[in-house]
A and B are shown apart, each in its own frame.
Chain A
Amino acid sequence: MPVTAMYDYQGQPKDVQANFHGNQLVYFGWDKHLMFCAPVCLPLPPDMPFGAVLTEVLPGVYGSHPDWARLDWEQAEWSLDQQPFTPDPQQSLEAQGIHHKSLLRFRVPGLDGIAGSAS
C-alpha cells in the first residue's frame, strides 16, 4: 500500500528535476573524510562536462581539507549510485548516466582523513 489513507491518495513529488530551474541535483561524498559531516548536494547543469566538476566545483567544496593538496584525480576510485564508475572528463553529466539525484562517491587510496581517522 503506497499510503494509508481514506481514499486513493496521490502525493506530488516535491523535488522533480523540473523544479530546479534547468539544473539537476547531484550528491557527492568523499569517503573517509567525515570532517565534512555529510555528503553534499549541488544543483548542476546536466550538460556540464565532468572535467568541470573536478576543476570548478569540487575544489570549492573540499579544498579546505588538509588532504586536498595531496589529492590526485588519476588515483581516485569512483562509484555512481553505488556501482563502480569511471568518469569521462570530456562528457557531460547527463551523457554518462549521472541523473537527477544521483550519488557520486570517490575515494583516493592513501587519503584517509586527518591522521587517518576518517575525519
Chain B
Amino acid sequence: MSANQRLNLREKYQKFTRDLAWEPSYQKKSDIFPQTDFEGIHIHDWDKWEDPFRLTVDAYWKYQAEKEKKLYSIIDAFAQNNGQLNVTDARYINALKLFLTGVSPLEYAAHRGFAMAGRQFGGVGPQVSCQMQSIDELRHVQTQIHTISHYNKYFNGFHDWQHMHDRVWYLSVPKSFFDDAMSAGPFEFVTAISFSFEYVLTNLLFMPFMSGAAFNGDMATVTFGFSAQSDESRHMTLGLEVIKFMLEQDERNVPIVQKWIDKWFWRGYRLLALVSMMMDYMLPKRVMSWKEAWEMYFEQNGGALFEDLARYGIRMPKYWEVTVKEKERLSHEVWSTFYNYDHAAAFHSWVPDEAEMQWLTTKYPHTFDQYYRPRFEHWQSQTDKGERWYNNTLPMLCQTCQIPMVFTEPDDPTTTCYRSSDYKGEKYHFCSDGCKDIFDDEPEKYVQAWLPVHQIYQGNCGGASVPEVLEWYHLRDGEDNKDYLYSQDRANWLKWKGLTEEAERTLKAVVNG
C-alpha cells in the first residue's frame, strides 16, 4: 500500500487496534491475564471481537475535543448569566445534590473499573474499547463537578460530595452497587456496567430526567448530561458487543451471561428507584412520569432488545414483570422514604403541593389517591401545626441493595415485601426475590455488606446520636438537611426573587429549628 493511499474505516480501525497487539514471548499469556478464566467464560478467538463504532484514537480526540468545547461554552454562559436564578424553583436544585453525591462518584468508579477491566482482557479490541471508556468516565466526573460547582456557591449540600458518598446511609446504595461490580471479574463487570446498566437502564436518567432539567431551565445540567450520554452511546454499543461476543464464542457462556443479566438488571433497577423519585417529585415542571418513562425505555425499547437477543438463547431478565407491577408505586415509596428520614439526608424534601398531587393523581390513577395522597395530607396537616413529622427510628435494610425495606409485595401495595435467608447460622433479610436470589448465589460476598444502620449501631459512625452521625457525614444540621420549607435555600431563593418578607419568616423558622 502506498503511503498516501487513504485507508477505509475498517482498515484504519484494524491498524489502530489489532496492530497494537503482540504475542508474548517470555511470559505465559495466563500469567499476564490471570483473570480471564475464573468466571467460567470460554473465549476461543479474541479477534472475533468487533467494535461496531470503529472509532480510532485520532477521531476520538477530535470529536471529544469538540464536545468539550460546546459543553464549556454553555457552562460559561450559564454562570455569566446567573443561570441558577432562572431555574423553575429552588426545590429542583435538590435533584442535583443527589446527582453529585450519588451519581458523579459512580462515574469515577467507572473510570477505575474500565481501566482494570481493560488491563485484564486478553484481546486488543476490548482493551482499546475499555481504555477509551475509562477516559470518557473521567471526563464525565470532571464535567459534572465543574458544572455543579457553580451551584455550590449559592445552595447548601454540595460541599463534600465524595466524603458523603463514602458515608451517608442512602449513598451506600450506589456505592455498593459499583463495589459489587468492581469486585467481580472483568466479564461480569462489563456485562454489569456496559450492558445491563448503560444499555438497558441509564437512558432513564440521561434522557427523560435530563430533558426535564432543560424543561426546568437548567441548561448547564442538561448539557453535561447529554454530552455524557453521547459517550454512553458508544458504551452501550460496547455492552451489546460484549454480550454478543461471549454468546457467540461458546454455548457454555450462555447460562452465565443470562445469570449476570438477571442479577445486574435487578441491581440496576433498584438503584434507579432514586431516579423515579427525581422525575416524579423533584422536577417542578415535569416532562413525563416514571411510569411512562419505564414503559417507553424498558418495556418497549428494552423489549425490542431482548427479542433481538432471543436468537442467542437469551430471555428477558428475571423479575422484569415485578418492575412492571411496581411502576405505579416506586416513586411514591421512595419519596416517602426521604420524607421519613430527611433529617439525616444531604438534600431537602417536601410535601408536593396540590397542583403536583393532582398531576400525580392523573399519572397514577390506580394508586396515588388510594395509597399515597392520605399520607401526604396527614404530613401536611402536621407541618401546618408546626410539627413537621420525621421517622425517628432507623430502618431495616435489604442486605443486597442496601435500600430500606420500603418496597411492597408485587401483588399487594399495602404490605411490605419481606424475604430472608439463613447462611452459616446468620439471618439475612431482603426487599425482594431479586435481591434474595443475588445473595443466595454468592453469600460469601454479601455477608460482608457495610449496612449503614448496622454500622451506626456498632458504633462505627461517629456516635449513637443523630447530631454525631451527621457530623461524621460532614452534614450541617439545619442547613443541608430537613424540610425545604424551613431551609436557608428557600429563604435565599425568596430573597433573590424579591420576596423579602417571606424570606425573613423562613429564616426565623430556620433559626427556631
A and B touch in the complex (CB under 8 A): yes
Least CB distance, B505 to chain A, in whole angstroms: 26
Least CB distance, A31 to chain B, in whole angstroms: 7
B427: chain A residues within 8 A (beta carbon): 81, 99-102
A19 to B450, CA, bound (A): 13
Q: Knowing A34-B408, A100-B427, A102-B427 touch, does A6 contact B35 (C-beta < 8 A)?
A: yes
Least CB distance, B442 to chain A, in whole angstroms: 5
| CB 8 Å contact bits of B323-348 with A (1 = contact, 0 = none) | 00000000001001101110000000
A82: chain B residues within 8 A (beta carbon): 418, 420
Is residue A109 contacting chain B, with contact meaning CB distance below 8 A? no
B447: chain A residues within 8 A (beta carbon): 11-14
Least CB distance, A29 to chain B, in whole angstroms: 6
Q: Tell whether, in the assembled complex, residue A103 and residue B444 are in contact, meaning their CB atoms are under 8 Å apart.
A: no
Q: Tell whether, in the assembled complex, residue B444 and residue A9 are in contact, meaning their CB atoms are under 8 Å apart.
A: yes
A4: chain B residues within 8 A (beta carbon): 38-40, 184-185, 188, 442
Is residue B365 contacting chain A, with contact meaning CB distance below 8 A? no
Is residue A70 contacting chain B, with contact meaning CB distance below 8 A? no
Q: Knowing A38-B405, A40-B395, A40-B396 touch, does A11 contact B445 (C-beta < 8 A)?
A: yes
A115: chain B residues within 8 A (beta carbon): 374
A27: chain B residues within 8 A (beta carbon): 396, 429
Is residue A42 contacting chain B, with contact meaning CB distance below 8 A? yes
Is residue B416 contacting chain A, with contact meaning CB distance below 8 A? yes
Is residue A76 contacting chain B, with contact meaning CB distance below 8 A? no
Q: How many residues on A have C-beta within 8 angstroms of the other chain's C-beta atoms?
A: 51
Q: Tell me which residues from 1 to 58 in chain A have a Cβ below 8 Å from any Cβ of chain B.
A: 1-6, 9-16, 19-21, 23, 25, 27, 29, 31-32, 34-43
A118 to B371, CA, bound (A): 7
Q: Tell whether, in the assembled complex, residue A14 and residue B444 are in contact, meaning their CB atoms are under 8 Å apart.
A: no
A35: chain B residues within 8 A (beta carbon): 336, 375, 378-379
Name B395's contact: one of A9, A14, A38, A118 (CB within 8 Å). Answer: A38
Least CB distance, A115 to chain B, in whole angstroms: 5
Q: Tell whether, in the assembled complex, residue A60 and residue B392 are in contact, meaning their CB atoms are under 8 Å apart.
A: yes
Q: Knowing A3-B444, A34-B416 touch, does A66 contact B424 (C-beta < 8 A)?
A: no
Is residue A90 contacting chain B, with contact meaning CB distance below 8 A? no
Least CB distance, A57 to chain B, in whole angstroms: 9
Least CB distance, B305 to chain A, in whole angstroms: 25
Q: Tell whether, in the assembled complex, residue B378 and residue A66 are in contact, meaning their CB atoms are under 8 Å apart.
A: yes
Q: Tell whether, in the assembled complex, residue B371 and residue A19 are in contact, meaning their CB atoms are under 8 Å apart.
A: no
Q: Tell whether, in the assembled complex, residue A13 and residue B448 are in contact, meaning their CB atoms are under 8 Å apart.
A: yes
Which of the candidate stretches B80-88, B103-111, B130-138, B454-462 sits at the interface with the other chain? B454-462
Q: Tell me which residues from 379 to 424 in chain B have a Cβ below 8 Å from any Cβ of chain A.
A: 379, 389, 391-397, 404-406, 408, 413-416, 418, 420, 424
Q: Knowing A39-B405, A41-B397 touch, does A20 contact B457 (C-beta < 8 A)?
A: yes
B100: chain A residues within 8 A (beta carbon): none
Is residue B451 contacting chain A, with contact meaning CB distance below 8 A? yes
Q: Knowing A21-B459, A119-B375 touch, does A61 contact B414 (C-beta < 8 A)?
A: no
B19: chain A residues within 8 A (beta carbon): none
Q: Tell whether, in the assembled complex, residue B457 and residue A25 are in contact, meaning their CB atoms are under 8 Å apart.
A: yes
Q: Tell whether, in the assembled complex, residue A2 and residue B416 are in contact, meaning their CB atoms are under 8 Å apart.
A: no
B416: chain A residues within 8 A (beta carbon): 29, 31, 34, 38-39
- Select from chain A the residue with minimum beta-carbon distance to B399: A15
Is residue B467 contacting chain A, with contact meaning CB distance below 8 A? no
Is residue B34 contacting chain A, with contact meaning CB distance below 8 A? yes
A34: chain B residues within 8 A (beta carbon): 333, 336, 371, 375, 408, 414, 416
A103 to B397, CA, bound (A): 12
A40: chain B residues within 8 A (beta carbon): 393-396
A29: chain B residues within 8 A (beta carbon): 396, 405, 416, 418
Q: Knowing A4-B188, A34-B375 touch, does A42 contact B393 (C-beta < 8 A)?
A: yes
Q: Tell whether, in the assembled complex, residue B457 and residue A23 are in contact, meaning their CB atoms are under 8 Å apart.
A: yes
B47: chain A residues within 8 A (beta carbon): none
Q: Tell whether, in the assembled complex, residue B396 and residue A38 are in contact, meaning their CB atoms are under 8 Å apart.
A: yes
A11 to B459, CA, bound (A): 21
A25 to B393, CA, bound (A): 13
Q: Tell whether, in the assembled complex, residue B450 and residue A3 are in contact, meaning their CB atoms are under 8 Å apart.
A: no
A38 to B125, CA, bound (A): 47
A60 to B391, CA, bound (A): 10
For A25, A41, A99, A117, which residue has the most chain B Cβ atoms within 10 angstroms?
A: A41
B397: chain A residues within 8 A (beta carbon): 41
A19: chain B residues within 8 A (beta carbon): 458
- Select from chain A the residue with minimum beta-carbon distance to B464: A43
| CB 8 Å contact bits of B437-476 with A (1 = contact, 0 = none) | 0000111111111110110011100000000000000000
- A15-B451, A115-B374, A119-B378 given. 18 additional CB < 8 A pairs? A2-B443, A2-B444, A4-B184, A31-B415, A34-B333, A34-B336, A34-B414, A36-B340, A37-B395, A40-B394, A41-B454, A60-B393, A66-B378, A114-B374, A114-B375, A117-B371, A117-B375, A119-B372
Residues of A within 8 A of B (CB): 1-6, 9-16, 19-21, 23, 25, 27, 29, 31-32, 34-43, 60-61, 64, 66, 81-82, 99-103, 105, 113-115, 117-119
Residues of B within 8 A of A (CB): 34-35, 38-40, 184-185, 188, 333, 336-337, 339-341, 370-375, 378-379, 389, 391-397, 404-406, 408, 413-416, 418, 420, 424, 426-429, 441-451, 453-454, 457-459
Name 19 A/B residue pairs within 8 A (Cβ), A-sorted: A1-B442, A2-B442, A3-B443, A4-B39, A4-B40, A4-B184, A14-B447, A14-B451, A20-B458, A27-B429, A34-B416, A37-B406, A38-B404, A41-B393, A41-B395, A103-B396, A105-B418, A117-B373, A119-B374
**Which 6 pairs, one residue from A and one from B, show the smallest C-beta to C-beta distance?**
A118-B414, A119-B375, A3-B444, A38-B404, A38-B395, A117-B374
